[in-house]
Structure 1
């Protein structure tokens, strides 16, 4: 599984290959992100491949301690969840100065890479992927875990096309330990904002406390990009971007592309409502709306297939009027032949 795996200059390197971390053997480097380096590893106890995410080291001791707490929180938050659309965590530990998480290895690409490669998800693919992610988030929320950084880079599309939610590194989980004797939330962005700018909710952009509805908004922003091939808000200036998120409404997906059904466009815009009371009030509610859209599409396709089948059956069936006319004409013709023959004989 690859998570936020982009080359980073001057990023401290995690242990080299052919090394052992805990009980796991590292066999191949998959990539490096801002928070950790991911390796393909092998679990000799169960004899299976795993993905090993190792926290990048920091020369600052205080920063290192905070990052280790945050990193282990990712394992704590995701490790208590068991859902087919959430990455499975097998182990997490700090050994010999190395902090790591072992998780299921997934062949495929994250959604960010899929979009960057030019892949275009059709309307039904988009609705199906987002519905499964909404279902996964509903499960996480029911278990007290808010992701708070839903974005294409944290949605993995496995080779069987099943999406998985990754990286609960800044998730809010019950009894999260930050420092000895204290619980609360670590802030990772601009000292008071959690999340990735393009996909963060207005309340995140304002540095306000968030709840599960922030994940609903972010998932709506991801869906917007999948449908339109563009982010809802774009700016190279971080402050302008945050102001857009807080104050502006993007064009609806149906305005960007007339091929997008209004019903699906409304789902996106409801999820991205700046007013939390106007948003879907849960990820489950959003999942249900998408499920209804997909069911309506199936019904329309079945109806269309039946209509086509009926039309073909009618076109192949003999025309009653035509049949009767042909028989009548044949009878008249036979009568004329008989009359001529009779006259000739007499």
Structure 2
């Protein structure tokens, strides 16, 4: 009999855009968060009480009738289960481990400095994110707090504190309606915090799902998103974590880029002596960064073309309302990404859209980075030409 390890916790959070995110929280030495899909979440949740792989497999396969689908699912789950056993995420039923702290520093209605917590927006790997009311101005702002209690040592904390300051500095590089504004950097006891403007809106995928967008609406929304990322690239910055929830769209259809927690200056990436911050949502990792390993799943951003691919995924969703990848485990997703060819992908080719737009998305999805657009500026200028031709 096997069970989920004591230092592995499962969590799901409804974001401010009402989208549910599923997490594995590993509390060993330092706290680490892994964003996963619901299928993997449910599979791991089955081991909260001691059980066997065969019993869990039977629950998943009982509703499948096609033999080929059944065999494929069993193979994927077996590979994933073996990985979990190897990494000690799933252990024998009598195994005991020591747990670490993963709680947010504050909860709803708590007060600190001149802020009152209205809501906990996120409980991340090293940070807490709160919606608060500033009692001095009576306005709502967002506070991103580097939680000292989530870090295992002073050395690690000072490393993360330096990165936290870098994130703030990136946010202050921009003074644009397209980029989230940083209002202040300060401390509460040993906890560093960034005060951010509260952006009312929805993640771009939720906005697309909840609103009817005609062809002109889509083209204008894409133009604004490309304008936003062109500002980032023009400043010599890799955003580092492009995905749906980091592009907020308000009721006026104005997108804003948020969360520069994994950003890096291009010139520092080229300096091999620098520590490069690295992160991202798995489904948005481009094929050249994906690594078929559980310990190190992807490399850091080294070129603008990698972010061109991620931006193209956002554009793809705006026109298709879904992503093209279906894999349920990381390794199969890597294989799928590396084998994917948008030029022969029938669901995309059969969807009605102007040829110019189709070809634009195809170029952004090219497997070889050098065959994509060079930068977001390049994407933006080419998209403006498309709009002119279609208008």
TM over 0.5: yes
Alignment partner, residue 90 of structure 1: 183
SS at match of 2:264: coil
Mapped to 2, the partners of 1:109 and 1:20 lie a distance apart of: 27
Alignment partner, residue 282 of structure 2: 197
Alignment partner, residue 115 of structure 2: 25
Change (3 A) 1:19 1:112: same
Indicate if the aligned counterparts of 1:150 and 1:215 stay in contact, CA closer than 8 A. Answer: yes
The structure with the largest strand share of the pair is 2
Alignment partner, residue 207 of structure 2: 114
Shift of 1:234: 2.5
Alignment partner, residue 71 of structure 1: 164
* Alignment gaps of 5+ in structure 2: 1-14, 26-101, 292-298
The answer to whether residue 377 in structure 2 is matched with residue 284 in structure 1 is yes
Alignment partner, residue 367 of structure 2: 274
Mapped to 2, the partners of 1:105 and 1:128 lie a distance apart of: 24
The answer to whether residue 141 in structure 2 is matched with residue 50 in structure 1 is yes
Residue correspondence of structure 1 range 89-238 to structure 2 within 5 A: 89-114=182-207, 119=211, 121-173=213-265, 183-187=274-278, 194-206=279-291, 207=299, 210-238=302-330
SS at match of 1:205: coil
1:157-207 CA-to-partner distances (Å, cap 9, x unmatched) read: 112220001111111127879xxxx732033xxxxxx32221122222253
1:25-58 CA-to-partner distances (Å, cap 9, x unmatched) read: 1341152143443322344566643221223441
Mapped to 2, the partners of 1:209 and 1:235 lie a distance apart of: 23
Equivalent residue in structure 2 for 1:14, among 93, 105, 119: 105
Mapped to 2, the partners of 1:65 and 1:244 lie a distance apart of: 39
1:309-342 CA-to-partner distances (Å, cap 9, x unmatched) read: xxxxxxxxxxxxxxxxxxxxxxxxxxxxxxxxxx
Alignment partner, residue 130 of structure 2: 39
Q: Relative to structure 2, which stretch is displaced further, 201-210 or 153-162?
A: 201-210
Mapped to 2, the partners of 1:291 and 1:252 lie a distance apart of: 26
Change (3 A) 1:291 1:7: same
Matched pairs, number: 286
Over aligned residue pairs, what C-alpha RMSD do you find? Answer: 3.1
Indicate if the aligned counterparts of 2:240 and 2:301 stay in contact, CA closer than 8 A. Answer: no
Shift of 1:127: 2.6
1:198-250 CA-to-partner distances (Å, cap 9, x unmatched) read: 11222222537512222211000111122112212221110121222233213
Task: Tell me the TM-score normalised to structure 2 length.
Answer: 0.64
Q: Which has the larger radius of gyration?
A: 1
Indicate if the aligned counterparts of 1:146 and 1:172 stay in contact, CA closer than 8 A. Answer: yes
Indicate if the aligned counterparts of 2:218 and 2:318 stay in contact, CA closer than 8 A. Answer: yes
Mapped to 2, the partners of 1:120 and 1:9 lie a distance apart of: 34
Indicate if the aligned counterparts of 1:110 and 1:155 stay in contact, CA closer than 8 A. Answer: yes
Alignment partner, residue 311 of structure 1: none
SS at match of 2:238: coil
Q: Relative to structure 2, which stretch is displaced further, 24-33 or 1-10?
A: 1-10
Mapped to 2, the partners of 1:203 and 1:83 lie a distance apart of: 31
Mapped to 2, the partners of 1:91 and 1:253 lie a distance apart of: 49
Change (3 A) 1:7 1:271: closer
SS at match of 1:87: coil
Equivalent residue in structure 2 for 1:265, among 336, 358, 372: 358
Mapped to 2, the partners of 1:101 and 1:132 lie a distance apart of: 26
